[in-house]
Amino acid sequence: MKYIFNVIFYNLFGAGVGLAVGAYLGHLNQLWILIPAIVAGVALITAIITTVFIVKAERAIKNAGVSLKRKDIILQAGEEYTVGKRGKVRPGEYQVMSTDENEKSFNLRINEYVKEYKHNTTVVLAEGDTISPRSANVILR
């Protein structure tokens, strides 16, 4: 909704500035009747381009997601991982986080039980356990 208001505001602002400048220039010389329309159109196109860049920047900031650290382990949804000393996932205590920061809870199967976990929940994995993200990709930290 915020994006829609930005688009409306910048487009109306650009059109208003363009009409005001065009009307002033058209008033100075009666032969230039098309100037208000041309200036308004240019200002409107500029406002639309500006709005597109602002909306893209806001979406990029919003979708930045969780930052990865050096020893983080990313688990793909639907794949099963076995905990072992030489495996991808080693025994220990981990914080589980969704790779999508907007997703506050996700399903994770540890051994035979599927349970809903919240972002930043601590789990303890032992040798021989299996872990499988079900609904979203997961980061073990």
* Model confidence, pTM: 0.53
Q: What is the mean pLDDT of residues 87-116?
A: 89
In 3D space, the residue among 93, 91, 73 whose CA is nearest the CA of residue 83 turns out to be 91
- Does 115 score more than 90 pLDDT? yes
Q: What is the mean pLDDT of residues 48-57?
A: 76
What does the mean pLDDT of the chain come to? 80
- Does 64 score more than 60 pLDDT? no
- Does 44 score more than 80 pLDDT? no
Are 108 and 131 in contact by the 8 Å Cβ rule? The answer is yes
Query: What per-residue confidence (pLDDT) applies to 25?
Result: 67
Amino acid residing at 24:
Y
Chain-centre distance for alpha carbon 96: 20
